[in-house]
Amino acid sequence: MKKFLLIVTAVAVLAVVLYFGFLSTATYSEGVRSGELIKVSHKGMVFKTWEGEISQGISGAQIFAFSILDSEKEVITSLKEMEGQYVQVTYHERYRTFPWWGDTHYFITAVKKVNSPFKVK
């Protein structure tokens, strides 16, 4: 009986480790989005996470919400400096997220300032 419980416990622990290992490394999609950076904030009660929003439409009807991992210090600094400007962000979409990572499934890995297509020359 002890051997059976030990095997069941080992299989359960292995399954949990594999599940969380998959969630922390696998990405669902990767891509680039651009728009006016309208918000960057550090929010949360228990877990403080970096969150942001990009307006992808003229009226602000299309909002792309994203998260930034705490390890991306350079990206966080750049986003805070570029708030209100037209930017292009590179992101990874995850299957799921952890509360200490962020609110969304989209995680920004790079940002650069680009010219707005809406500016009149």
The total of other beta-carbon atoms located within 10 Å of residue 107's CB is 21
Q: Are 95 and 20 in contact (CB under 8 A)?
A: no
The one-letter amino acid at 69:
L
Q: What is the mean pLDDT of the chain?
A: 88
Q: Is the pLDDT of residue 57 over 90?
A: no
Residue 17 parent element (H or E):
helix 2-25
Please give the residue that has the higher pLDDT: either 7 or 96. Answer: 7
Q: What would the pLDDT profile of 93-105 be if each residue is shown by its tens digit?
A: 988 888 888 889 9
In the CATH scheme, what is the code of domain 27-113? Answer: 2.40.50.140
The predicted-structure confidence for 20-55, as pLDDT tens digits, reads as follows 888 778 788 899 999 899 999 998 888 999 999 998
Separation of alpha carbons 77 and 84, rounded Å: 14
Question: Distance between CA 52 and CA 65 in Å, rounded?
Answer: 6
pTM of the predicted model, to two decimals? Answer: 0.78
d(Cα 120, Cα 109) in Å, to the nearest integer? Answer: 30
pLDDT at 60: 62
Which of the four pLDDT bands, split at 50, 70 and 90, describes residue 112? very high
Q: What is the pLDDT of residue 65?
A: 92
Percentage of the residues of the chain whose pLDDT score is greater than 70: 95
> How do the domains of the chain map onto residue ranges?
27-113
